[in-house]
Structure 1
Amino acid sequence: MAVLEHLTSQEAIDLENKYGAQNYHPLPVVLSKGEGVYVWDVEGRKYYDFLSAYSAVNQGHCHPKIIGALKNQADQLTLTSRAFYNDMLGKFEEFATQFFGFDKLLPMNTGAEAVETAIKLARKWGYEKKGIPANQAKIVVCQNNFHGRTISIISASNDPIATENFGPFTPGIISIRYNDINALQEVLKDENIAAFLVEPIQGEAGVYVPDENYIKEAFDLCKAKNVLFMADEVQTGIARTGRLLATCGNCSCPDKNCSGTPDVKPDVLILGKAISGGVLPVSAVLANNEIMEVIRPGNHGSTFGGNPLSCAVAMAALEVVKEERLAENASTLGQLFREEMEKLIEETDLVRLVRGKGLLNAIVINDSEDSSTAWDICMALKENGLLAKPTHGNIIRFAPPLVMNQEQLLECVAIISKTIKEFEK
């Protein structure tokens, strides 16, 4: 088969089924084009994208400024490895550290790599700065987390699908209940705890938003016990929740109406996904000097991490977030979306709850977790021109690109309402 040969949707699906590992269960739609909030399948059908590549495409598909940066840099230099300096990495590091309010940045590629990097950083800091005995450092995580798929990260998971037959697992990881400040207080009595790794909102768990004061109280507990507070904002960061960061711990937030708590600044910030606008795999770990200085030559690295192409793309992607006030837009439209979903809940028994922040939201379907109802609704939404995906059985996550406008959002609300009501019949 010629590489450029046009495929039908079924032909593309058959190819993946035949030649690809079956590690995903996608909706049966084959996409070939994207622009802004829209995607098109290979037959030319147009859809609203209400997943945004798991919040990687916050700036919309193929944003012209980001694609322009990609093309311009691709003509100059794409990769040097870190064996040599390049003329883009320093610029990106300066730009991003000032953008998020940290001293240092360690560039990687994927979110999982960034989480692994943060765990290594925390352990080394624990030994060299906190004085934890050799090989005794522990990382605290929360149940129902999603930090990635590597062995160390699934060692922190309680999802049987993620962990079955992948052991033995990495030691030194303790799991506690999410949104349970007493559980955190108890575990921090252990003097060998180096860090608390937490998602400000648990996206994969069904957009589970913790109590209003949980993050602040957890941060304060960590400070009192000399434990690093590490925020995994791979999915919640870059304006998705209506603020530049869900932890809202920096004073350079482009959202001037931010009502978050500015005194919660993570010791270690983990970013990925939308830091490049979904154009290239780019991730980063940010921290101040007293933490990052434990990393020295040979301790950690990546051939592609910090490559010139990614640096150019990431700077452009972050500029778009600020210039187009995407955090503010996500806050405004997210509030409108939840209000409209509350109206829908009053009109149907099929949806029992809506929750979220900004444009990271989910509805809970009034059925059991092992039912196919949420999947079937997503299939119906697809037929009506909107793409979304279930998570945890009976929950449907809604996370459109942040460049969406009010007219488009209300059109999507109409599609969702129509589909739910028709499905209920």
Structure 2
Amino acid sequence: MSTIDAQADTLPLGGPSLPQERRLVTELPGPRSAEILARKASAVPAGVGHTVPVAAVAAGGGVVVDADGNSLIDLGSGIAVTTVGSAHPKVAAAIAAQAAQFTHTCFMISPYESYVEVAEALNRLTPGDFAKKSALFNSGAEAVENAIKIARKHTGRQAVVAFDHGYHGRTNLTMALTAKAMPYKSGFGPFAPEVYRAQASYPFRDGLSGAEAAARTILQLEKQIGADNLAAVIIEPIQGEGGFIVPADGYLPAIVEWCRANGVVFIADEVQTGFGRTGAMFASEIFGIEPDLITTAKGIAGGMPLAAVTGRAEIMDASHSGGLGGTYGGNPVACAAALAAIDAYETEGLLERA
């Protein structure tokens, strides 16, 4: 019998049944968490760090319970993932039902309806009143990489612009897009080529209006790269890694307008800001912009690994057959979780409550 099997009967149930309270019964870490963290140090590479010195055994609503019975307020939401709460009843039930049906076929081999339903939901929910299509992947970084692939294929150009303070992932291409050296980039290069960086709007630091900041950005793009060489501009509508940076009013619409005029694909990276994290379903709505492509992950599936690229149908269709996909992309269990999570956003008033 495994350790997990032996402990199963003694572990607390997660989900909304957990008392929503802060409760400390040991020092942190307690003896059981300390034991697990010692095993982690022995078995897991040092590069896989952790923030809180506890080992989680249950979570629900706004709390996490550790292996010693301490109940901690969950301010991280699994890095902006469990937006509907850990083990939300609808999500948990959908996962169990789908797992009993089938756990995997690979959508590129045998398609299934739940993938299509998630794509339809994303096409409906994302900003923009135009024909859209969606492709599903495993992680935010994978979605970003595929958005860049799609933009390059559509435009026939190679250059991509990301912004100061931006964060887009930990894979080779997304490390090139990410601005922050430590802990994401140091020692891991060389990085993917044809990635350039520009200054975005940072009104707290630069004091510029949206129009002034956009003029500065556009001057950089035209002088240092050239619009004819540029496939895509990718930006987080609200940056979340180099500080929570809200651009000045008018900045993003001006950049979108310039992209439209020059045939550049505007990509909104809403991996962190999507699905209610800003009080709107997507942060792009706050600024009145309609991205050509939008990347999502994190809050999309209530804790299951899922990500997506959604965008204008004519751009999304640029790739040849077989050019997009992946073995686990749009896994059926994750799709079932996403449909349940989206139902919770829409029927439980989560945006209004945020």
1:79 maps to a residue whose letter is H
Rounded Cα–Cα distance in structure 1 between residues aligned with 2:42 and 2:309: 37
Deviations 1:102-160 (A, max 9, x none): 52001001011001111111111111xxxx4xxxx211100121100001111123322
Among residues 306, 309, 329, which one is paired with 1:305 in the alignment? 329
Rounded Cα–Cα distance in structure 1 between residues aligned with 2:134 and 2:179: 30
Percent sequence identity is 34
Instruction: Say which is worse superposed, 320-329 or 55-64, in terms of deviation.
Output: 320-329
- In the alignment, which residue of structure 2 is the partner of 1:109? 138
1:169 aligns with 2:191: yes
Rounded Cα–Cα distance in structure 2 between residues aligned with 1:307 and 1:156: 27
1:188 maps to a residue whose letter is L
CA contact (8 A) 1:188 1:225 kept: no
Deviations 1:76-98 (A, max 9, x none): 01110121222322222223222
Instruction: Say which is worse superposed, 266-275 or 81-90, in terms of deviation.
Output: 81-90
Rounded Cα–Cα distance in structure 1 between residues aligned with 2:190 and 2:325: 25
**Structure 1: stretches of 5+ with no match in the other structure:** 249-259, 331-425
Rounded Cα–Cα distance in structure 2 between residues aligned with 1:230 and 1:139: 10
Q: CA deviation at 1:261?
A: 4.4
Rounded Cα–Cα distance in structure 1 between residues aligned with 2:181 and 2:332: 39
Rounded Cα–Cα distance in structure 1 between residues aligned with 2:60 and 2:36: 21
- In the alignment, which residue of structure 1 is the partner of 2:113? 87
- In the alignment, which residue of structure 2 is the partner of 1:273? 298
Deviations 1:210-258 (A, max 9, x none): 212222222122122221110000000101101010001xxxxxxxxxx
Rounded Cα–Cα distance in structure 1 between residues aligned with 2:268 and 2:63: 31
Among residues 79, 82, 85, which one is paired with 1:57 in the alignment? 82
Q: CA deviation at 1:8?
A: 0.5
Equivalences, count:
309
Rounded Cα–Cα distance in structure 2 between residues aligned with 1:125 and 1:217: 22
1:197 aligns with 2:234: yes
CA contact (8 A) 1:69 1:316 kept: yes
1:108 maps to a residue whose letter is F
1:323 aligns with 2:347: yes
- In the alignment, which residue of structure 2 is the partner of 1:379? none
2:105 maps to a residue whose letter is T
Rounded Cα–Cα distance in structure 2 between residues aligned with 1:71 and 1:157: 36
Q: How does 1:375-390 map to 2 (within 5 A)?
A: none
CA contact (8 A) 1:30 1:41 kept: yes
Among residues 304, 310, 313, which one is paired with 1:289 in the alignment? 313
Q: CA deviation at 1:2?
A: 4.0
- In the alignment, which residue of structure 2 is the partner of 1:124? 153
1:109 maps to a residue whose letter is N
Q: How does 1:19-418 map to 2 (within 5 A)?
A: 19-23=43-47, 24-81=49-106, 82-100=108-126, 103-127=132-156, 132=157, 137-161=158-182, 162-179=184-201, 180-189=213-222, 190=226, 191-248=228-285, 260-262=286-288, 264-278=289-303, 280-330=304-354
Rounded Cα–Cα distance in structure 2 between residues aligned with 1:148 and 1:171: 16
2:124 maps to a residue whose letter is Q
Rounded Cα–Cα distance in structure 2 between residues aligned with 1:309 and 1:157: 30
2:258 maps to a residue whose letter is L
CA contact (8 A) 2:235 2:267 kept: yes
CA contact (8 A) 2:252 2:287 kept: no
Deviations 1:376-425 (A, max 9, x none): xxxxxxxxxxxxxxxxxxxxxxxxxxxxxxxxxxxxxxxxxxxxxxxxxx
TM-score, length-scaled by structure 1: 0.70
Rounded Cα–Cα distance in structure 2 between residues aligned with 1:274 and 1:306: 15
Rounded Cα–Cα distance in structure 2 between residues aligned with 1:313 and 1:158: 32
Deviations 1:334-371 (A, max 9, x none): xxxxxxxxxxxxxxxxxxxxxxxxxxxxxxxxxxxxxx
Rounded Cα–Cα distance in structure 1 between residues aligned with 2:220 and 2:135: 29
Tell me the SS of whatever aligns to 2:152: helix
CA contact (8 A) 2:266 2:293 kept: yes
Would the alpha carbon gap of residues 167 and 158 (structure 1) be closer, same or farther in structure 2, given more than 3 Å must change?
A: same
Would the alpha carbon gap of residues 17 and 244 (structure 1) be closer, same or farther in structure 2, given more than 3 Å must change?
A: same
- In the alignment, which residue of structure 2 is the partner of 1:391? none
Q: CA deviation at 1:300?
A: 2.3
Rounded Cα–Cα distance in structure 2 between residues aligned with 1:177 and 1:25: 31
Tell me the SS of whatever aligns to 2:65: strand
Tell me the SS of whatever aligns to 2:326: coil
Deviations 1:299-345 (A, max 9, x none): 12210112221211111111111111212211xxxxxxxxxxxxxxx
1:152 maps to a residue whose letter is L
TM-score, length-scaled by structure 2: 0.83
CA contact (8 A) 2:123 2:132 kept: yes
2:60 maps to a residue whose letter is E
Tell me the SS of whatever aligns to 1:9: helix
